[in-house]
Every structure is written in C-alpha cells, then in structure tokens.
C-alpha cells in the first residue's frame, strides 16, 4: 500500500513553493490530473480487497480534497501577487503631455457639450431615451392622435410590424423623452435631451439621421416669459455674442401656444454672420406644454404647467462653425474631421470659453 502521508507531504511542498500560476497548475495536473499520481492510485481501488478498499477509498478521497484545497489557497495568493506585480509595472503617468494626438471631437459632440454646459448652468439635468420608439411616446402621448395630419409631416421611418401589427418607429424628434420623463418623475422638472433623431429626408440641409436637443421645464408657475428669457440667454451664450431674436407664432400639437424662434443674420460672401443684418433664420421650435400632454402623463394641468423647446444641433453647429453642407457632417472624411474637429482634451466650460 502506498504511503499516503508521504504523497501528501510531497505535493504540499511542491504547491507551497510553486513560483507562479503556471507552475501551480503543473503540480495540480501531476497529482490530480487524469494521469496524475493520486488519480492513478484511485484507479487501483478496483483491484483491492473489500477491507482494503474500505480504508483506502476514504483516505484517497480525503487526500484528493486536501490537495485540491491547498491548490486553491495557493492560487488565491499567486493571483494577488500577479495582480500587484501588474499594477506596479503597468503604471501610466497621466501628467505626461500627450504625444501624437490624432483623434478629434466631432463638431456635433462639441456643440452638444456646449449646450449641456450652458443649460447645466441654468439648472437643467441631461436626460436620454431610446432611438427606437413606440407610437405612443413618439406621437399619441404628444397629442398627435391616430390619423392626425401632423404625423405625415415627420417623414417617419417605420420598423416592420410585430405580430399584433404594431410598428415601432425611429424617433422623429427628441420630444418622446418629455413623455418618458413626465411619466417617471415628479415635477419640478428641468431637463435637456440631446440625441439622435430620424426622418426620411436628404439634401444640403437635411440628413436622414440628425441631432436635436430638447428642453422641458415643468412646475407650477413657469410661463411664456420664462421660456423667452431662457432661450434668448441660451442663444447669446451659445454664439458668444449678443444675438437679436424674435418669436413667431407657430403650431405644434404638443404645445399651446407654440412659437418658432428666429435669429437675426446676414450673409457676407459665403459667410453667415449671426446676430446682425436684415435676415431672420429659424433656429428652434418651442411653446407651453399642451394640457393634453400633461394629462397623458398623469399630471393635472390645473396644477402643473411649463415649457418645451427643440432645436437641431447639426444646424446650430453649421451656423456657429461655418460648415456649408450638412451631409459632410456624417461622411466620416478624415480631412473634414481633422479640420472641423475639436481637441478631445479641452472641455467646453463657461469660465474659460465654450470652444
């Protein structure tokens, strides 16, 4: 009969002195692997007399468990040592200047960050929602009842209908996030929603995918004057100059009254100068949240009110940074990105400048 305690001592010693995880695993295989010494011993059980088996069976099993426990304990120690060694050797000095900075921040991202900074300063939080929306959030809850003609104005991309005939849509605006927020959050609400939106349209000033920033304020006392002040302040801060604006009556199903805001501009050669001149350019849609929308979200319109606005980010980026064609924005041309892109290391902020 083999001396099991000698076997145990031998492997305990090898496990204890295994210098790394690979060596430890080699010891484990030598003892417990298919052709390992302990496994081979266990195979001899079949030829033993019943009395012998009664002693050797449990003894061998015990040995197997002991060795396997020792391996596990040693493994934890070696893993910790390996991690510490990696942590010590793979350090990066974050204070070193960056070499060969090549990537740039896309102007759309830059402009969204600038907007987030300006609105954060006014107390707005950033909210987000899904690009693939259902009909309820994109239309119905926003007071576009089924069959309403305004639905057709959105050139909607529909997904294949499900078994019940319901068609999901690529959201045509960021307004569904108004609904998601009002249904999940008790007023006061003050959010902006930067995100992608989709309409089946493509020319020099339209792309099938574009970006919007939505805004929503809900409380008990906010009125149209707050809406105007908020947006006028925003636009002057964004363009980093005094910009004259005007509000024109308009219609959106989800706001009442509704308006579009225009900014004064002039064209000098190829250049568009915002803030001066004799022309007006439409910049965004806005209005007081419609009582039906509040009701659809479970809010009492006699208690709560507020305003919403939505603007095209790509359009504002073109105006601020002078890109002539919207479609170039999404062509992924390295030269364009290199020229119009921003340093990813310079964060937009109000103290040292937005851009």
Cα–Cα dist 227/285, whole Å? 11
Give the shortest CB-250-to-ligand PHE separation in angstroms. Answer: 8
Comparing CA positions, the residue from 282, 272, 331, 280 lying closest to residue 108 is 331
Give the shortest CB-287-to-ligand PHE separation in angstroms. Answer: 5
Query: Nearest residue by C-beta to ligand PHE?
Result: 310
Site stretch for ligand PHE (CB under 6 A), options 24-32, 105-113, 285-293, 339-347: 285-293
**# residues near ligand PHE by CB under 6 A:** 11
Cα–Cα dist 245/281, whole Å? 9
- Answer for which of 255, 283, 320, 348 binds ligand PHE (CB under 6 A) is 255
- Answer for which of 74, 137, 171, 173 binds ligand PHE (CB under 6 A) is 173
| Residue 143 sits in the site that holds ligand PHE (CB under 6 A) | no
- Answer for which of 182, 243, 308, 354 binds ligand PHE (CB under 6 A) is 308
| Residue 310 sits in the site that holds ligand PHE (CB under 6 A) | yes
* CB closer to ligand PHE, 78 vs 115: 115
Comparing CA positions, the residue from 151, 160, 218, 167 lying closest to residue 189 is 218
Cα–Cα dist 157/168, whole Å? 9
* CB closer to ligand PHE, 14 vs 175: 175
Site string for ligand PHE, 203-242 (x = CB under 6 A): -----------x----------------------------
The whole-angstrom distance between residue 46's C-alpha and the CA centroid of its chain comes to 62
Phi and psi angles of residue 289, each rounded to the nearest 5 degrees, phi first: -55, 130
Helices (H), 37-160: 37-43, 50-89, 107-121, 135-138
Contact 170, 208 (CB under 8 A): no
Cα–Cα dist 166/348, whole Å? 42
Contact 127, 193 (CB under 8 A): yes
Query: No. of H helices and E strands in the chain?
Result: 11, 10
- Answer for which of 156, 175, 245, 305 binds ligand PHE (CB under 6 A) is 175
User: DSSP letter at 342?
Assistant: B
Phi and psi angles of residue 279, each rounded to the nearest 5 degrees, phi first: -105, 155
| Residue 285 sits in the site that holds ligand PHE (CB under 6 A) | yes
| Residue 252 sits in the site that holds ligand PHE (CB under 6 A) | yes
Give the shortest CB-110-to-ligand PHE separation in angstroms. Answer: 22
| Residue 287 sits in the site that holds ligand PHE (CB under 6 A) | yes
- Answer for which of 119, 265, 309, 340 binds ligand PHE (CB under 6 A) is 309
Contact 104, 48 (CB under 8 A): no
- Answer for which of 286, 288, 293, 329 binds ligand PHE (CB under 6 A) is 286
Name beta bridge partners: 230: none
| Residue 139 sits in the site that holds ligand PHE (CB under 6 A) | no
Give the shortest CB-264-to-ligand PHE separation in angstroms. Answer: 21
Tokens (6 digits) for 53: 């088996």
Give the shortest CB-82-to-ligand PHE separation in angstroms. Answer: 54
* Residue numbers 9-38 binding ligand PHE by CB under 6 A: none
Binding positions for ligand PHE, rule: CB under 6 A:
173, 175, 214, 252, 255, 285-287, 308-310
């Amino acid at each position: 009969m083999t001396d099991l305690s000698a076997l145990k001592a031998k492997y305990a010693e090898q496990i204890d002195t295994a210098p790394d995880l690979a060596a430890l695993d080699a010891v484990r295989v030598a003892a417990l692997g298919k052709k390992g010494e302990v496994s081979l011993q266990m195979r001899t059980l079949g030829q033993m007399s019943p009395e012998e088996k009664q002693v050797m069976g449990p003894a061998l099993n015990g040995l197997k468990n002991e060795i396997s426990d020792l391996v596990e304990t040693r493994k934890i120690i070696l893993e910790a040592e390996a991690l510490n060694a990696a942590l010590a050797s793979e350090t990066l000095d974050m204070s070193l200047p960056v070499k060969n900075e090549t990537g740039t921040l896309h102007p759309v991202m830059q402009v969204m960050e600038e907007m987030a900074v300006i609105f954060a300063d006014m107390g707005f939080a950033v909210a987000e929602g899904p690009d693939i929306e259902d009909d309820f959030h994109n239309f119905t809850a926003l007071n576009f009842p089924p069959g309403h003609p305004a639905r057709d104005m959105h050139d909607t991309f529909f997904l294949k209908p499900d078994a019940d005939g319901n068609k999901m849509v690529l959201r045509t605006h960021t307004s569904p996030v108004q609904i998601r927020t009002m249904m999940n959050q008790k007023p006061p609400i003050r959010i902006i929603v930067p995100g992608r939106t989709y309409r089946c349209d493509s020319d020099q000033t339209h792309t099938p995918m574009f970006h919007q920033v939505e805004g929503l304020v809900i409380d008990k006392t906010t009125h149209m004057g707050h809406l105007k002040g908020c947006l006028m302040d925003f636009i002057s801060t964004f363009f980093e100059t005094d910009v004259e604006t005007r509000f024109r009556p308009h219609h959106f199903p989800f706001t009442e009254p509704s308006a579009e805001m225009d900014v004064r501009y002039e064209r000098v050669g190829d250049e568009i100068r915002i803030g001066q001149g004799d022309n007006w350019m439409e910049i965004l849609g806005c209005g007081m949240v419609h009582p039906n929308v509040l009701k659809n979200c479970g809010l009492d319109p006699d208690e709560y009110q507020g305003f919403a606005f939505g603007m095209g980010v790509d359009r504002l980026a073109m105006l601020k940074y002078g890109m002539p064609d919207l479609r170039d924005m999404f062509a992924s041309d390295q030269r364009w990105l290199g020229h119009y892109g921003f340093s990813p290391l310079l964060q937009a902020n109000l103290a040292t400048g937005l851009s």
